[in-house]
């Protein structure tokens, strides 16, 4: 039986990923800060027939992550897949986020992926097998307002992973690396995140089901891909950023108001301490969430879309020049 490790696994996308591996017959090890919610997640997954190990740990603590990896190897004999999913954020204008808050978001969203990857590699390089999956976001390449700390941290994940991938290729390692770029997802996170805006956070449409994200992660382990992009909004943002970054800036500016919900007081959220509440996958907007399998693409498919878009722009440009030439010719008679 194979073993998958999932960080940030007590709720939301992490719990959906763990559930997907359990349904496929894998053992799962769950890492998160909140012991109570981890225990609840364990009960839910065991009720579905899963073999589950829970490891309360702060993923921003490298020593704790390494200790968790050793415990997993001791109990299960090895690690076949490691999914770095943990994250945190502060919803606020960039100038209202403190240096300590930037440091904490960076530690839980970026450094945690480094620590998890290094812990996995320590085991996988020796075993000459394994898959590592980084859970990132479309906001890594097209940032949004009120999310400066999170966007910056997610952008760093791609740079670290690309560098590491080249090193693994150079040593001819069979360990695989994949990055999953996610859209807006219906998880409990908006109800837990630190929020300093005075308004509840609303994730704009289109919104997607966490189980679609879990399917993409499981696909990356079973059929490794360099990158998988989930949700039409993810590749649309990427195309806009590549082809018309100024236009993408203006569109992103409009997202500020779109994220503003009902008035609320400042919320400390789960930045420094785990939020209370049960282990649950879904957030408050289930009726809006899409769960269509064709809503995720591999990197090669996205590149084909980019080529098609560029070709369309080129053809449109040629046609426009030809039309202008005809008008100019007619005006001389």
Which residues does the annotation mark as catalytic? Answer: 150
The DSSP line for 214-268 is HHHHHHHHHS--SEEEESHHHHHHHHHHHH-HHHHHHHHHTHHHHTEEEE---B-
Residue with tokens 């740079």: 159
87: tokens are: 């994250």
Collect all residues with Cβ–Cβ distance below 8 Å to 229 and sequence separation of at least 6. 138, 181, 235, 238, 296, 297, 298, 299, 302
Greatest alpha-carbon pair distance for the chain in Å reads: 88
Please, which residues bridge with residue 133 across strands?
Answer: 83, 178
Contact by Cβ (8 Å): 282, 289: yes
Q: Tell me the sheet residues that pair with 132.
A: 82, 177
- The DSSP line for 118-134 is HHHHHHHHHHT--EEEE
User: Rounded to an integer, what distance in angstroms lies between the CA atom of residue 115 and that of residue 263?
Assistant: 38
Helix (H, G, I), strand (E, B) or coil at 153: helix
């Amino acid at each position: 039986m194979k073993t998958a490790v999932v960080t940030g696994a007590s709720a939301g996308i992490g719990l959906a990923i763990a559930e997907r591996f359990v349904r496929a017959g894998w053992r799962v090890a769950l890492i998160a800060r909140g012991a109570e919610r981890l225990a609840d997640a364990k009960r839910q997954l065991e009720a579905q027939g899963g073999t589950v190990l829970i490891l309360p740990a702060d993923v921003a603590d490298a020593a704790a992550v390494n200790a968790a990896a050793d415990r997993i190897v001791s109990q299960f004999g090895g690690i076949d897949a490691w999914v770095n999913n943990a994250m945190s954020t502060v919803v606020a204008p960039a100038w209202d986020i403190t240096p300590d808050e930037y440091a904490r978001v960076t530690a839980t969203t970026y450094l945690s992926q480094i620590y998890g990857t290094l812990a996995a590699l320590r085991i996988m390089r020796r075993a000459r097998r394994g898959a590592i999956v980084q859970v990132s976001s479309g906001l890594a390449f097209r940032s949004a307002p009120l999310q400066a700390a999170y966007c910056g941290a997610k952008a760093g994940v791609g740079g670290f992973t690309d560098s590491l991938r080249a090193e693994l290729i150079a040593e001819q390692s069979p360990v695989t690396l994949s990055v999953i770029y996610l859209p807006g997802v219906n998880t409990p996170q908006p109800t837990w995140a630190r929020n300093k805006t005075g308004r509840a956070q609303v994730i704009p449409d289109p919104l997607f089901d966490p189980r679609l994200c879990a399917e993409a992660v499981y696909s990356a382990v079973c059929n490794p891909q360099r990158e998988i992009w989930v949700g039409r909004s993810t590749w649309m943002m990427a195309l806009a950023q590549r082809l018309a970054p100024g236009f993408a800036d203006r569109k992103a500016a409009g997202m500020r108001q779109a994220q503003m919900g009902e008035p609320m007081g400042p919320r400390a959220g789960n930045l420094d301490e785990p939020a209370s509440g049960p282990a649950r996958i879904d957030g408050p907007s289930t009726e809006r969430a899409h769960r269509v399998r064709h809503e995720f693409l591999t990197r090669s498919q996205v590149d084909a879309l980019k080529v098609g878009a560029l070709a369309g722009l080129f053809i449109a440009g040629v046609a426009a020049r030809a039309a202008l030439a005809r008008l100019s010719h007619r005006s001389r008679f």
